Structure 1
């Protein structure tokens, strides 16, 4: 790896260890084995590096979560059982990646001050919606863009809400079974 990639990987590690807002340039230099001048040379500054690092970390989390859900052994399960299995993985992943996911809240605060952070979060949200439609229901966004957008938005709302509840109070947050029961109740009333 060159200094650019070393810096990015070091910044990702710092996000996991210290969070987005509390990571300093010196922290990244120490984690990456590079020098302070490399940040400006390769990224144009600390803000750009941290945005790229958060984007990389969130992309890695989303892809690893999608892979875990895809390998959840849900074949042959009923719809409700499959839904619960997926959400068990999701909730466990939130607990496992707590530091990273808390760092996203640091980034949210910067939406109105940093166009690059806004771009990264907007694009990440759009990609996540399409990913959830594909992961949870096998819907190809290229073939069924409207359905993928609808289902993806529904799941992203659930992901965001459950993620927030688990991060704030994991002991009183909904379980996969709670979510399944709630969806069945809402669907029965439609």
Structure 2
């Protein structure tokens, strides 16, 4: 590996171990074996390197989800079955990748003061929505049209974002797939709040 790759690997390691806010340039240098000047040379700034490390780590989570679902026979079932499988797998893999999601939450809180970070998240959103539709529908991302990505993808992104926050605060209160499916059915059926039958 060259210095650029070493820096990225070191930044990802620091991000997962120390989080977004507590990682310093010196931490990255120590983790990567590179020198301080190489951060500026290869990435322009520590912040730019951290952005790349965060999105690379999030990509690792997405790849893990895709591999997991590809190995699961239930992905070939109906849409409700695929949703249940996808949500269950997402919850399981959140636990495995919780450091990534903690770092992402920290980073999201910085977008007000970091326009480049905001832009990076904004650029990643369409691809993320498209990937979530593909995940929950068991199709290739290239099959997801713009309208579907905008509507269903936004819905799934909202669910996943809420799951991340709830898992970070109190994992025991995070709804499982069956609870979410029951809630969606009640909304679509127009069932008023109160005990269900």
TM-score above 0.5, yes or no: yes
Match of 1:30 in 2: 30
Instruction: Give the alignment's TM-score, normalised by structure 2.
Output: 0.88
Give the Å deviation of 1:10.
0.7
**Cα offset, 1:82, TM superposition:** 2.7
Q: Is the 8 A contact 1:133 1:149 kept in 2?
A: no
Q: Between the two structures, name the one with larger relative contact order (CA 8 Å, sep ≥ 6).
A: 1
C-alpha distance in structure 2 between counterparts of 1:5 and 1:125, whole Å: 25
Shift of 1:184: 2.0
Question: Corresponding residue for 1:155?
Answer: 156
Question: Equivalent residue for 1:8?
Answer: 8
Alignment of 1:1-190 (within 5 A): 1-75=1-75, 77-137=77-137, 138=139, 144-189=145-190
Q: 1:125 to 1:76 in 2, by over 3 A?
A: closer
In structure 2, distance between residues paired with 1:173 and 1:83? 16
Distance 1:80 1:143 in 2: 18
Q: 1:139 to 1:187 in 2, by over 3 A?
A: farther
The answer to whether the 8 Å contact 1:133/1:139 transfers is no
CA distance in 2, matches of 1:130, 1:47: 27
Q: Kindly state the Cα deviation for residue 51 of structure 1 after the two structures are TM-superposed.
A: 1.0
- TM normalised by structure 1 equals 0.91
Contact 1:29 1:36 in 2 (8 A): yes
CA distance in 2, matches of 1:105, 1:143: 27
Are residues 178 and 73 of structure 1, via their aligned partners in 2, closer, same or farther at CA, if it must alter by over 3 Å? same
Alignment length (residue pairs): 190
TM-fit CA distance, 1:120: 1.4
Q: Deviations over 1:67-105 (max 9, x none)?
A: 323332214534433322211101111121111101112
Two-structure CA RMSD over aligned residues (Å): 1.9
Shift of 1:143: 6.1
Whole-angstrom CA distance in 1 between matches of 2:8 and 2:41? 13
Match of 2:194 in 1: none
* C-alpha distance in structure 1 between counterparts of 2:9 and 2:104, whole Å: 17
Distance 2:176 2:116 in 1: 35
Q: Is the 8 A contact 2:131 2:141 kept in 1?
A: no
Asked if the contact 2:126–2:149 (Cα under 8 Å) also holds between the matched residues in 1, the reply is no
